[in-house]
Every structure is written in C-alpha cells, then in structure tokens.
C-alpha cells in the first residue's frame, strides 16, 4: 500500500512526548520504518485488572497493524474489550559517555495506543494472517500450505489502527557536560549494534534433494535496517 500523501502523525494527550521531545518524529514514514524493521512487538493489556505485557509477532499493512493468536488466549480477548498498547523497539548502539549519568543508547521506538478489532470476515482474516507471515518471512506465504478450516477456527486475528502512535529516535554520540569534555582522559563514543541473519539450517526430517528456497536465502542476506 502506498504511503504517499498521508497526513503526519497527530499526537493525542496519550501519544505526546513529555520528555526528550527533540527525539520525537511526526512523519508517518518513520513509524512505518520502525514497524517494518521489527520482528517482535510487546502487547500490553489489562487482564483481570492487572497489566500484562506479551511479546508477539505482528504485521503491518498500510495504517493497520495485525496481530494473531489462539482463540483461547485471554490476552487477545482482553485486547478487544479495553485499550491496549503496542511497542516496538530497536537498539542501534550503546552510547559511552564520560559521565555515568550520560550513558545512553541509540534506538528507534514506536508506541501505538488504541483498541483492537477482532476480524471476523473470512477473507479479511486470511489477509491478516498473510500480512503477519509475510512480515517476518517475505515470500513464504505462496510457497507453503495455507491454513485449513480447523486452524482458522482456532486462530484469532486482530487489527489495530495506527492513528494514535508516537515515534522516538535517538542517534549520534554522547551528550557530555562541557566540564567533563574539558577534563578529558575518558573514552567516549558509540558501540554500534546491528542484527544479521545466520546460515539457514534445514530441518532434520527434510527429504533429500530439497534446496533452500530463494525467499529464505534472500531473507538471510538481509541486514536489519538501522537508522
């Protein structure tokens, strides 16, 4: 889906940054980039009156975030009865400063607030699942068996609108106090961090002669984007 001519992120009282506002981003393309580079989100819900944070896979299509899980999962049921929070974070480097209080991290993060909607239309549910699979394993959906009726009946698909979201990004080196810089004698800088895929490992029960698919090799050659 195209992202051109989309309005900037419109902050609400819940999504407005109160600290380090200079790290906030209003461009929706920045939100898309953070979400598209991630593999796991953390879903925060109220379950039995108690906050619970669950790591889970997701997928984005335009301005919609899709989540899925078992129909018996209490956290997913809770996600459609009260507001939720979804967070995605990438660490791009450790920032070493001359003062302990100025140590930091370079990062990209996004937080989405709202109430998820359970998808009940069969075609839409299948689309949501495809988005989730293709997000983490591009090209795999058309190569493998599609979910059957029993699997679909046991799976809950949620959609969360990305309207209420905030993006926060830190880049660059340490922000040391002038006095510490003038004193000198202490190393300061950034230790970059990046994610890379390793060599694919075939399943032990794979029949002889089946080569690693192109989509897997392509994914393995991809470096997780940094800002």
Reported as a single tens digit per residue, the pLDDT across 36-87 is 999 999 999 998 889 999 999 999 999 999 999 998 888 888 888 889 999 9
Average pLDDT value for the chain:
89
The answer on pLDDT for 135 being more than 70 is yes
pTM of the model: 0.87
Q: Do strands 50-56 and 104-114 pair parallel, antiparallel, or not at all (unpaired)? A: unpaired
Domain extent, residue 114, equals 21-220
pLDDT, greater one: 226 or 216:
216
The answer on pLDDT for 167 being more than 80 is yes
The answer on pLDDT for 2 being more than 60 is no
* Tally of domains in the chain: 1
41 vs 165: CA distance, rounded Å: 14
Average pLDDT (138-155) is: 96
Tell me, what's the pLDDT at 80?
86
Label residue 226 by pLDDT band (50, 70, 90): low
Tell me, what's the pLDDT at 28?
85
Domain assignment of residue 97, yes or no: yes
pLDDT in tens, 105-133: 999 999 999 999 999 999 999 999 999 99
Domain assignment of residue 4, yes or no: no
- List the CATH number of the domain containing 42: 2.30.110.10
Domain assignment of residue 7, yes or no: no
Domain assignment of residue 225, yes or no: no
Domain assignment of residue 147, yes or no: yes
Domain assignment of residue 16, yes or no: no
């Amino acid at each position: 889906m195209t992202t051109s001519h989309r309005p900037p992120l419109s902050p609400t009282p819940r999504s407005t940054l109160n600290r380090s506002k200079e790290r906030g981003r209003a461009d929706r393309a920045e939100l898309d980039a953070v979400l598209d580079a991630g593999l796991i989100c953390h879903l925060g819900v109220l379950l039995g009156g108690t906050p619970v944070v669950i790591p889970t896979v997701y997928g984005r299509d335009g301005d919609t975030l899709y989540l899925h899980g078992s129909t018996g999962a209490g956290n997913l049921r809770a996600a459609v009865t009260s507001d939720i929070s979804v967070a995605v974070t990438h660490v791009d480097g450790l920032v070493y400063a001359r003062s302990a209080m100025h140590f930091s991290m370079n990062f990209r993060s996004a937080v989405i607030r709202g109430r998820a909607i359970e998808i009940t239309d069969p075609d839409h549910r299948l689309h949501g699942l495809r988005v989730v699979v293709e997000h983490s394993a591009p090209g795999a959906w058309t190569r493998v068996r599609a979910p059957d009726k029993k699997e679909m009946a046991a799976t809950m698909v949620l959609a969360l609108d990305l309207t209420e979201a905030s993006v926060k990004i830190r880049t660059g080196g340490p922000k040391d106090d002038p006095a510490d810089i003038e004193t000198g004698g202490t190393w300061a800088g950034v230790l970059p961090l990046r994610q890379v895929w390793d060599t694919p490992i075939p399943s032990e029960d794979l029949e002889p002669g089946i080569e690693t698919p192109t989509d897997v090799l392509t994914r393995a050659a991809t470096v997780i984007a940094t800002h």
